[in-house]
């Protein structure tokens, strides 16, 4: 199934990125939040999900992604609401903007 294979492609890229960083003795970037926030991103690697501070991540909205990805599975297991495939979320949001994520309906409501 194409969706399943696309989700595994993200796993392979994540593993490659982690391996290259290790071989080059580089530290992996960490998503550090100063206050409770909804992450709005293009994609999120599984290794990035497990390193998130659950107290500060109120939800995740991805312009790409896949509901079958390990990132989505991990977020659900951690109790973090997540919406994937919301193609225009990056262009419509700005840092610090107030928002509400309804993952059950797949809606990101933004304040003006």
Q: Where are the domains of the chain?
A: 2-110
Q: What is the pLDDT of residues 103-112, one digit of tens each?
A: 999 999 999 8
3-state secondary structure 39-103: EEECCCCHHHHHCCCCCCEEEEEECCCCCCCHHHHHHHHCCCCEECCCCCHHHHCCCCCCEEEEC
Q: Which CATH class is domain 2-110?
A: alpha beta
Mean pLDDT for 23-39 is: 94
Give 7's pLDDT tier (boundaries 50, 70, 90): confident
pTM: 0.90
Q: What is the pLDDT of residues 83-110, one digit of tens each?
A: 999 999 999 999 999 999 999 999 999 9
């Amino acid at each position: 199934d194409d969706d399943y294979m696309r989700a595994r492609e993200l796993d392979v890229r994540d593993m490659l990125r982690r391996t290259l960083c290790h071989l080059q003795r580089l530290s992996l970037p960490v998503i550090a939040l100063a206050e409770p926030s909804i992450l709005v991103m293009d994609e999120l690697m599984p290794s990035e999900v497990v390193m998130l501070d659950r107290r500060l991540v109120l939800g995740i909205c991805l312009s790409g992604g896949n509901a079958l990805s390990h990132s989505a599975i991990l977020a659900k297991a951690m109790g973090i609401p997540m919406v994937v495939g919301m193609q225009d979320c990056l262009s419509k949001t700005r840092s610090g903007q107030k928002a509400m994520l309804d993952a059950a309906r797949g809606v990101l409501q933004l304040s003006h």
